A and B are shown apart, each in its own frame.
Chain A
């Protein structure tokens, strides 16, 4: 006990530094999370106080809902494709935009940053125009050659729609990891590179041996953030396809939105916020579970490797 108390006193500044952030976090992130957990046990339309207690009924419904699992699968595909692709592109671009020999660096940086400040409504329109105007020309050409029978409707074809959404997703948020990587690259002292070059290392070796390890902590955070953002994708899907056609691009974000904001013809809100919150929480727990499994697997594999090494030596 005495040890604990003296330990606390020793780190008094740490507490002072962390407290403000933590207090805000508790009030505006943790507390709403607890509140929304409570909502998952009710039927609630979002107005007033939830009164209709249903226990675990929502969780059971979701686990059995084929539309939820369809959305989950699409979200999974979206994330699995987007994260490695976007991060690789962003890192490569960051290295280029950081190079000394690139002219007009500020301009280029803004160019690749610009999608972030373009509203998704604009993006949706340009995409639809691009597909109708340019797509028409391409399709006509392909039809003239005999490859296609009728023009392809990229966003209306259930086989192509998700890939279009993924491509747009990569494009629109590339700026985020790009800027984070640019910042991380700044922390590397140029002397390290110079010393390595003197030793005869080529550009790839520099990249793998120096850059990558040094930006790893930030890189891991960026990986985590990008993954979580992809799992929560909503805006671009809603604007481009509304989750369609017939749920071909439905992601968990649009699935939940439909539950939470459903309005029927008469204007009745069939808002099922309890169900929506349960679906969101269910998804969160699934993701957490999968991540924990992965970490456990990686640890297990690492332990195996070190055990093997010990055994061999």
Chain B
């Protein structure tokens, strides 16, 4: 690296500070939720925008865990989220690659159908999907939740992969084709490793969406309340005339932890350079 002049260093430090300050304000609601989870209700309601609890109410967490039945719901949520994310990443990357690289009969039909439904709404009632799942005999199972959540994520993510694969340079694939590699092999060996950033992104957002999904898990497990998910449990604190904010924040924070972990894990996928992989 070139040696930096003093002015440059000063500018960079100033920039960092500016970014940190704007970051603080940007992150305020998140911080408020964390701090609220450790407050008592009067402290929260009377404290205005103050971030520091008067007394740390760690007991909120134990109470929230128990009342929101986190023990059971956590298992269910992990299952649904992981299986859905895997399904989405695999199916949409496969489809995205084929659509980006090959021109096959019927491609226009597929793309057209998908585009049209992107514009048009899916409907305001879950009844058609409910009937379909019922006919498949999957009601009251977690597989129903996985299926529905994964299926509804097909369209956007396929498009993302199409866009991403279209960007990648074709030299490696052309070289492999000349060497006699089949299409799936090229996908597995070359395209997929190059797609790590998009895989990381899709996985991250699918994880978040699924972890926080509320209505589908509720509706497809009506007969088996033990199969419900963490967010559903969190809503135990929301009432018709009043809400137990501090406990809900504690529950929300606990629910948030896996998402944060996944974010930091997956981050490296979509930020570490792909250029190295191309060279190798």
Q: Do chains A and B touch in the complex (CB under 8 A)?
A: yes
Whole-angstrom CA separation of A46 from B125 in the bound complex:
7
Closest-CB distance, A186 to chain B (whole angstroms):
4
| A266 interface residue (CB < 8 Å to B) | no
Quote the shortest CB–CB distance from B115 to chain A (angstroms).
Answer: 9
Surface stretch bound by A, among B55-63, B70-78, B264-272: B264-272
User: Within 8 Å CB of A110, what residues of B?
Assistant: 260, 263-264
Knowing A8-B105, A33-B117, A115-B29 touch, does A186 contact B260 (C-beta < 8 A)?
Answer: no
Q: Is A260 an interface residue (CB 8 A)?
A: yes
Is A7's beta carbon under 8 Å from chain B?
A: yes
Cβ contacts under 8 Å, A112 to chain B: 23, 26
Q: Which residues of A contact B113 (CB under 8 A)?
A: 25, 30
B122 touches which of A36, A125, A217 (Cβ 8 Å): A36
| Residues of A contacting B120 in the complex (Cβ-Cβ under 8 angstroms) | 33, 281, 284-285, 288
Q: Using A21-B154, A114-B27, A218-B163 as known contacts, say yes or no to A291 and B49 having CB atoms under 8 A apart.
A: no
A118 and B30 contact, CB distance less than 8 A: yes
- 0/1 per residue, B128-163, Cβ < 8 Å to A? 110010000000000000011011101110111011
A119 touches B274 (CB 8 A): no
Chain A residue with the shortest CB-CB distance to B209: A116
Name the residue in A119, A127, A214, A228 with the highest tally of chain B Cβ atoms < 10 Å from its Cβ.
A119
Asked if B152 contacts A28 (CB within 8 A), the reply is yes
Assembled-state Cα–Cα distance A105/B218 (Å) = 38
B267 touches A284 (CB 8 A): no
Chain A contact residues (Cβ within 8 angstroms of B): what range? 35 or more
Identity of the chain B residue whose Cβ is nearest the Cβ of A15 in the assembled complex = B104
Determine whether A96 belongs to the interface, using a CB cutoff of 8 Å to chain B: yes
**Could you tell me if B32 and A228 are in contact, using CB atoms closer than 8 angstroms?**
no
B10, CB-defined interface residue at 8 Å = no
Chain B residues within an 8 Å CB radius of A220: 163
A183 at the A/B interface (Cβ < 8 Å)?
yes
The answer to whether B154 touches A24, judged by C-beta atoms less than 8 angstroms apart, is yes
Q: Which of A246-301 contact B (CB under 8 A)?
A: 256, 260, 273, 276-277, 280-281, 283-285, 287-288, 291
- Proximity string of chain A (189-200) to chain B, C-beta cutoff 8 Å, 1 when within and 0 when not: 111000000000
A29 to B162, Cβ gap below 8 A?
Answer: no
The closest CB in chain A to the CB of B270 belongs to A183
The chain B residue sitting closest to A168, CB to CB, is B29
Cβ contacts under 8 Å, B119 to chain A:
228, 284, 287-288, 291
16 more contacts with CB within 8 A, not counting A273-B124, A273-B125, are A4-B105, A14-B107, A17-B184, A27-B132, A28-B147, A32-B129, A110-B263, A111-B27, A112-B26, A113-B263, A118-B29, A129-B49, A133-B48, A133-B49, A277-B121, A280-B124
Question: 19 pairs across A/B with beta carbons < 8 Å?
Answer: A20-B91, A20-B95, A27-B132, A32-B128, A106-B267, A108-B23, A111-B23, A115-B27, A116-B208, A127-B29, A182-B270, A183-B164, A183-B200, A184-B167, A187-B274, A188-B275, A214-B167, A228-B118, A284-B121
Closest 6 CB pairs of A and B: A36-B123, A28-B151, A11-B104, A183-B197, A21-B95, A35-B128
